[in-house]
Structure 1
Amino acid sequence: MTLDVSKRIAFIGGGNMASAIIGGLIAAGYPASNVSVSEPYEELRKKLSATYGVFTTSNNSEAIAHGPADIVILAVKPQVMRGVAEGISEAVKTHSPVVLSIAAGILAKDLERWLMAHSAGKVPSIIRSMPNTPALVSQGATAAWASETVSQSQKDLAFGILAAVSKKTYFVEREELLDVVTGLSGSGPAYFFLLIECIEQAAIKLGLPADVARGLAAQTCLGAGTMAVATGEDPADLRRKVTSPNGTTQAGIESAEAAGVRQLWENVVIAATKRSEELGAILGKDN
């Protein structure tokens, strides 16, 4: 999908994820003149301006009006989202951008209510997305959901922006599935870091130097993931191809199966998904 470089983008928040997306957009040929960023910390504003040549301000509404923006990306912590959304209510009403939230747990109905808190009128078009931290190295996996008022061209614009730092980008049909996405890919990098940590420590205990164990563990994780993506094969089939009968891999796999590894990882994803649901309910409360 081709990214429409004529559209103007306003970022509310200039932290790590916003910076990663901006960097990916600029690297893909997106004009810096079409990007504005509102960020309260002066040092970070200066860095973004110097690094990417984008317009920066400490005023959220000014960032939206600069252009004005066709899409507003809310890249702030969930805990401050209500105040930010209410603060840009008038600017969103005036310029009618699609609003893309990358904050975990904030439901569209709550975001919509806050965006209309001080400015009654047209219901804002909202897209929620869940990128993950590998986006910081342009290896993200992202899923998004769009409200009924989002047009196809707005979805295409959001998809192109998210895809600038994501190797896999999807839209899901139901908003509640973003909780599952959070449990899978949003939290997922930490699961793989844990796996690397565990097999690295096991190898060290068996005598490998720490730097060798870490390098081999991390690269093996990367290589396996790359193979899964590049081939598109069922991971079970890929696993079986590596597992020779009565060989070393079979011994390791059988040990993992005996320890209940499948139920373990199912429980991990379920727990993270449920916590995402809980946070949505908590963060959406007005009191």
Structure 2
Amino acid sequence: MIENKKICFVGAGAMAEAILSGLLDHKIVKPGQITVTNKEDRFRLDELVYNFGVVADRTQTYSSIQQADILILAMKPKDIEKALLDIREWTRPDQLFLSVVAGVSTATISHFLGHAAPVIRTMPNTSAIVGLSATGMCLGDHVRDEHVRLARTIFESIGLVFITEEEKLDAITGLSGSGPAYVYYLVEAMIKGGMDVGLSYEDARKLTLQTVLGAATMLSETGEDPAVLREKVTSPNGTTARGLDTLRSYQFEQAVRECIRQATQRSKELGQMFSIQK
């Protein structure tokens, strides 16, 4: 039961904050069960303690790591090797390791730990901050059903969880891991477009956000194919048709698809840089 588990975040960035916020907002654990630690930024630890009431480990004794049942690895990919080599002697095979580190394989994490602890690799996105992440999850060696249940409990507190094979996690990174930024870019463009035709920034922003929210809700609640919904609002020779024709002329679909392909490729490249090769 997760209510009896001690959780330690190794790394204290935005994703760590989003996850611990989700856990506390849903009352899945109590603040005293969560410890946060990082290598250098003590001010950041103070901030999390003040905002959430969690415990900060500001020492280099690694007591929080030794005592943890679950360790959530939330450092940058370039830092993971040194971080794991630094803490490995204070870790145990009966601890569960959950990684939110982009591109780094479960095999690499196990290699740096030097023992057979269960490792689950995940790819949430920044919508975790508002509890609406789409989190891809893959299972490393030595993972049992109880570990999957614990991981699901943690990541379902910040949104949807999708379990998949590890080789597909780069694609999930390219689509949903980076996906919020694509939507924000679209929203930026729509706001600017509204301003181009005479709306104030405030009005264009409100109208755009409501439009995007409404469209996403329609897709979610009706279950209809997006192409079907698009056709329903597109009258022949109407305003929507003119707008869509313009997007096609700029190869909008091809640009979005290539965007996802390139982000996926970059995730693979990062994996090759920071993971051991089997």
TM-score (norm 1): 0.89
Give the corresponding residue for 1:266: 257
Cα deviation digits, residues 171-222 of structure 1 (max 9, x gap) = 11x2121100110011111111111111221221111112211222223222
Q: Structure 1: which amino acid aligns with 2:63?
A: E
Q: Structure 2: which amino acid aligns with 1:85?
A: L
Give the corresponding residue for 2:63: 62
Residue aligned with 1:176, SS = helix
Separation of aligned partners in 1, 2:225 and 2:207: 24
Q: Structure 2: which amino acid aligns with 1:266?
A: R
Using the TM superposition, name which of 52-61 and 187-196 deviates more: 52-61
How far did 1:61 drift? 2.9
Separation of aligned partners in 2, 1:208 and 1:98: 52
Residue aligned with 1:11, SS = strand
Give the corresponding residue for 2:70: 71
How far did 1:130 drift? 0.7
Give the corresponding residue for 1:280: 271
Separation of aligned partners in 2, 1:112 and 1:248: 56
- Runs of at least 5 residues in structure 1 that lack an aligned partner in the other structure: 117-121
Do the aligned partners of 1:86 and 1:114 also contact (CA within 8 Å) in 2? yes
Do the aligned partners of 1:38 and 1:60 also contact (CA within 8 Å) in 2? no
Separation of aligned partners in 1, 2:99 and 2:177: 14
Give the corresponding residue for 1:25: 23
Q: 1:210 aligns with which of 181, 197, 201?
A: 201
RMSD: 1.9
Separation of aligned partners in 1, 2:222 and 2:87: 45
Count of residue correspondences: 274
Q: Structure 1: which amino acid aligns with 2:79?
A: V
Correspondence list, 1:49-128, <5 A = 49-58=49-58, 59=60, 61-65=62-66, 68-93=67-92, 96-116=94-114, 122-128=115-121
How far did 1:141 drift? 1.4
How far did 1:60 drift? 7.5
Residue aligned with 2:98, SS = strand
Give the corresponding residue for 1:42: 42
Using the TM superposition, name which of 17-26 and 241-250 deviates more: 241-250
Cα deviation digits, residues 20-78 of structure 1 (max 9, x gap) = 1111111111212221111342222222223222221034732222xx32211001111
Give the corresponding residue for 1:141: 134
Do the aligned partners of 2:97 and 2:120 also contact (CA within 8 Å) in 1? yes
- Runs of at least 5 residues in structure 2 that lack an aligned partner in the other structure: none
Separation of aligned partners in 1, 2:205 and 2:116: 51
Do the aligned partners of 1:12 and 1:60 also contact (CA within 8 Å) in 2? no
Q: 1:282 to 1:217 in 2, by over 3 A?
A: same
Do the aligned partners of 2:77 and 2:101 also contact (CA within 8 Å) in 1? yes
TM-score (norm 2): 0.91
Using the TM superposition, name which of 243-252 and 186-195 deviates more: 243-252
Q: Structure 1: which amino acid aligns with 2:23?
A: L
